[in-house]
Amino acid sequence: MAALRRYQTVVSDSALWEGFPFRSGDVVLSPPAKCGTTWMQMLCALLIFDDTEFGRPLTEISPWFDATTYDTAATLAMLESQQHRRFIKTHTPLDGLPFHEDVTYICVGRDPRDVMLSFENATANIHPDAIPAGGLDPEVAQPPAPEPIDRFWLWADSDLVNDTTSFGVTLANLVNHVRTFWERRDEPQVALFHYADLKADLPGELRRLARVLSIEISDERITELAAAATFDHMRGRADELAPGVDHKLWRSNENFFRSGTSGQWRGLLDSAALDRYHRRVAELAPPDLAEWLHRP
């Protein structure tokens, strides 16, 4: 078995997965940041519990296992105590995760330009008290340039970032993450979803997820459960569903679900900027993956 690639950021370390005691049927949810992780956690919870009420915060049911901002031993004990089918959050690419034939690995892709803008909104919403001990470099905790277009190019032109001084959110990191799933998407335990498809046909994608998880469910029940996972409905339950509510991570839990829309980048990038952006994408992704990521 090939050695796992180690991924580190200011808030996570994939080395924590080594020796993890998997169970048959476990689900590992591994989208890049701001690509719909919480949305996919919600969809898994709806299917696994066949209920819209969970009785405790989603972040406790589906913890971010390799987050260094949590007590790993406590997270592991909580997972070991769970009697239901486990679905575990991470932002580690597939080549950094132990791979087991009886575990399902799910990734969600999104138009990278929307990811960049969503991440900016998220960082502006982080509560000052939630900054990790020792603080962050000011260029990590705050926008690194005064103009939005300058910040966009810093994000787009940065190479792979794999260290403990940043959040690791760059175009190169996003493409690398999705590519590790893209290259294994035909394997039965690997599933790749797209944010745009979730927006366009949430019941259909929930039905597809049920098939991935081998869960039998009626079309009528799919419709009922999907209604609980619309963006507006989740925003209304932000205190239960937003990540990090147990750590008081956000200034506003509702603002974590700020808009969920796509295409806001159109107000930022003119035709020349788009040409430059697509040249950069071509350096990072094969044409089929680039086309898939940017699907309307």
Residue 275: the pLDDT is 97
Residue 143: the pLDDT is 45
Residues 6 or more apart whose Cβ sits within 8 Å of residue 42 = 58, 228, 229, 234, 241
Residue 264: the pLDDT is 82
- Compute the distance between CA of residue 182 and CA of residue 194 in angstroms, rounded to an integer: 12
Supply 265's token pair. 């980048």
Residue 87: the pLDDT is 98
- Compute the distance between CA of residue 66 and CA of residue 71 in angstroms, rounded to an integer: 10
CATH class of the 14-293 domain in this structure: alpha beta
Residue 168: the pLDDT is 84
Supply 138's token pair. 């000011």
Q: Which of 12, 209, 171, 191 is nearest to 94 (CA)?
A: 191
Answer for the pair 231, 44: CB distance below 8 angstroms, yes or no.
no
Residue 238: the pLDDT is 78
Answer for the pair 130, 247: CB distance below 8 angstroms, yes or no.
yes
Supply 112's token pair. 């990278």
Residue 134: the pLDDT is 45
* pTM listed for this prediction: 0.89
Residue 236: the pLDDT is 86
Strand ranges of the sheet holding 87-89, from the earlier edge strand across to the other edge: 87-89, 27-29, 104-109, 190-194
- Catalytic residue (one of 91, 177, 194, 294): 91
Handedness of CA 11, 100, 4, 291 (dihedral sign): negative
91 is a catalytic site residue? yes
Q: CA-based angle 41:44:47, to the nearest 5? A: 150
Answer for the pair 169, 119: CB distance below 8 angstroms, yes or no.
yes
Q: CA-based angle 244:96:63, to the nearest 5? A: 20
The domain locations on the chain are: 14-293
The 10s digit of each residue's pLDDT in 209-267 is 999 999 999 999 999 999 999 988 988 887 887 776 565 665 655 565 565 667 888 88
Residues of the chain with pLDDT under 70: 1, 122-145, 244-261
